[in-house]
């Protein structure tokens, strides 16, 4: 079963606006990762945040993690049409068995 | 260096036939994963290989599904007596399990269509 629940399921914004996606999970984690998927094919790793971190930045991406609420958010600033894709969160359990559990994803459309 | 590769990229088969999907992980990656993604859905974990340990098969949906991995290289996912509900994109990923972060690198997937 999937651990991560993401919202919204779909998001449509204009180029230049910010996009925020949220992810909630159920069990304790080692880390939480965000991936992007274009055209229903392979996923690309975007950013990882460890359970003892609260915020992390990478270029136009900002990820926050609240372990007390078991939730994370991904913010994409100054969005571009090329950011149009599906975004998935994935959690690595605290026992670090190596298995990632993926959420259902948020589909982002950035209109030029 | 080369990423994860999968073959074929597309496979159309008739209901009841067997199919084999192949994954070539990144050289040196000890962990290999198979996922299934139905249209518009998230990733569904199928099976996970970690070095020489027994694989975690907890995600395989039925005994029609099986997978093998030779050492720390190629893996094949076999679906026997395919059904229409098996239609999906099958994604393979590999990672350096020695890393505590376990970032996974994905292949482009195989799109399976069962008629």
CA closest to B43 among chain A residues = A102
**Cα–chain center distance at B104:** 13
Q: Which of residues 49-78 of A touch B (CB under 8 A)?
A: 50
Residues in CB range of B62: below 8 A, 6 or more apart = none
- Which DSSP letter does residue A29 get? E
Which pLDDT value is given to residue A4?
64
Rounded CA separation B85/B38 (Å): 9
The whole-angstrom separation of Cα A24 and Cα A69 is: 8
Q: What are the respective helix, strand and coil percentages of chain B, to the nearest 5? A: 5, 45, 50
pLDDT, tens digit (0-9, with 9 covering 90-100), for B7-64 = 999 999 999 999 999 999 999 898 999 999 998 888 888 999 988 888 889 899 999 9
**Each residue of A27-81: pLDDT tens digit?**
899 899 999 998 767 799 999 999 999 999 999 999 999 999 999 999 999 999 9
Residue B76 CB coordination number (10 Å): 14
Helix (H) or strand (E) holding B110: strand B110-114
User: Best residue in A31, A86, A98 to probe B by mutation, most B CBs within 10 Å?
Assistant: A98
* Average confidence score pLDDT of chain A: 90
Predicted pLDDT at A94: 75
Residues of B in contact with A31 (CB under 8 A): 101-102
What are the pLDDT digits (tens) for B59-109? 999 999 999 998 888 999 999 999 999 999 999 999 886 555 668 899 999
Beta strands in B54-102 (DSSP E): 65-69, 75-79, 88-95
More confident residue, B54 or B114: B114
């Amino acid at each position: 079963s999937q651990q991560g629940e993401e919202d919204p399921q779909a998001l449509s914004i204009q180029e230049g606006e910010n996009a925020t996606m949220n992810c909630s999970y159920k069990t304790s984690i080692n880390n939480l990762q965000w991936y992007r998927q274009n055209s229903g094919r392979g996923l690309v790793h975007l950013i990882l945040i460890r359970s003892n971190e609260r915020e992390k930045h990478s270029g136009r991406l900002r990820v926050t993690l609240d372990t007390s609420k078991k939730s994370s958010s991904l913010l994409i600033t100054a969005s571009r049409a090329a950011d149009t894709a599906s975004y998935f969160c994935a959690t690595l359990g605290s026992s670090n068995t190596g298995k990632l559990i993926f959420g259902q994803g948020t589909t982002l459309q950035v209109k030029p | 260096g080369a990423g994860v590769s999968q073959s074929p990229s597309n496979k159309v088969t008739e209901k009841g036939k067997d199919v084999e999907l192949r994954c070539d992980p990144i050289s040196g990656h000890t962990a290999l994963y198979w996922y299934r993604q139905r249209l518009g859905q998230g990733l569904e974990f199928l099976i996970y290989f970690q070095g020489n340990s027994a694989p975690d098969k907890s995600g395989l949906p039925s005994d029609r599904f099986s997978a093998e991995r030779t050492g720390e290289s190629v893996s094949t996912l076999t679906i026997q007596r395919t059904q229409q509900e098996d239609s999906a994109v099958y994604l393979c990923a590999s990672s350096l399990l020695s890393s505590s972060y376990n970032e996974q690198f994905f292949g482009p997937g195989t799109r399976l269509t069962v008629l």
